[in-house]
Structure 1
Amino acid sequence: MAEIQKARFNMVEQQVRPWNVSDEALLALLLSVPRDAFVPAGNEGMAFADIELPTACGERMLAPKVQAKLVQELRLQKTDRVLEIGTGTGYMTALLANLAERVVSLEQHAELVTQAQNNLAKVGIRNAQVRQGDGAKGAAVDGPYDAIVLAGSVAEVPQALLDQLQTGGRLVAIVGDEPIMRCELYTRTGTSTFTKATPWDCNAPRLHHFPTPSRFSF
């Protein structure tokens, strides 16, 4: 147990905090939520490493600092309703659920849906609903949302997701093509108006079934 606590501490102090993650509530969560409970069996020793870990269905779990940075950008409040696209094993879902009132998380793979549900139940998360669904379409029936996070990269953010934000709501995603992708942070300022910031660069595995814009013009 002492070794796990040390590994978790080193993850926060050597990886996450140096990546300009300074929200103390989030940093405290990273020390308390057992990331090793969300990695595939046999990979517990790599749970706190600064790498993407392979999961079921050919997917990958984002590095700890990237997950933390995405969550920090949302500036979550305890009254917020959050939509997560790409549940994976449920670790980022757990972080979001600890900071917000309710989380709806969509995952395309049935196997990962089951894994995430079991993982979240094991650590006592009860305000997150994980279900199988098309992330590009979102879940308007449960919206509008105060925050939306895409747990992987896309070529562009679909308008359908932006439309599910309520006024003042934030959406964060990693957008673009390798070798250079950027975090894009959208804020809904009115019925049909949004602001966009690109606060940092980071590559991430692709989310599936999202539209790819044509590179040709006629």
Structure 2
Amino acid sequence: MACAMGHFMCKECAAGQTRGLLERLQLDESLLEEHRSHGGHMKCVDPACRETYDDSSVARALPSEIFALYRASQDTVIEHRMWMDLQAQFQEQVTHMQRQFELQEGRRSSQASAEMAAREETATAEFLRRQYPNARMCPRCRHGPVINENCYDLQAHHGEERGAGRGRISNACPGCDFFSREWSDWAPWDGVMHTGPRG
């Protein structure tokens, strides 16, 4: 198969590249975001090229079971985009309703405020679950979500000074101080916001 710029990849390499890409998407948030920015299409293997492979070329090059996984990954990207659009509409509606309510009532009741906060927390949790499918939580106190943005060796920068009075890097749990140098020791996030203060 070849991209629009003519960069060629043989069928054997295409199958391996696609399988590897689909596996890496499960582990790497930045790669997942890049994949979403390409509309779920596989980027050309030439690092200097910005093109993607078209679906008909990919379909001809891949075995049917790998192509089915590739298409499922694209469907997930489309669903994510639709969900993000719906989330934005929902937030606009919430803001509009909130303004109307405040104008009519002059102030919100504590019950309405609690319900709105619960809806916002649920929407935020759902947004985070979709945006960061690989988020973790503390295995001890369940504080989460915790998102690893950089290095999987949590010991490497733990306690490192940020400079200019900006404090130190802490890779310990903000809830209970649990620490492990291995990201894999943190439990997969259960989708519930557990971010309360230490108690």
Higher helix fraction: Structure 1 or Structure 2?
Answer: 2
TM-score of Structure 1 vs Structure 2, range by shorter chain:
under 0.3
TM-score by length of 1: 0.24
Say which structure is richer in strand. 1
Is the radius of gyration larger for structure 1 or structure 2? 2
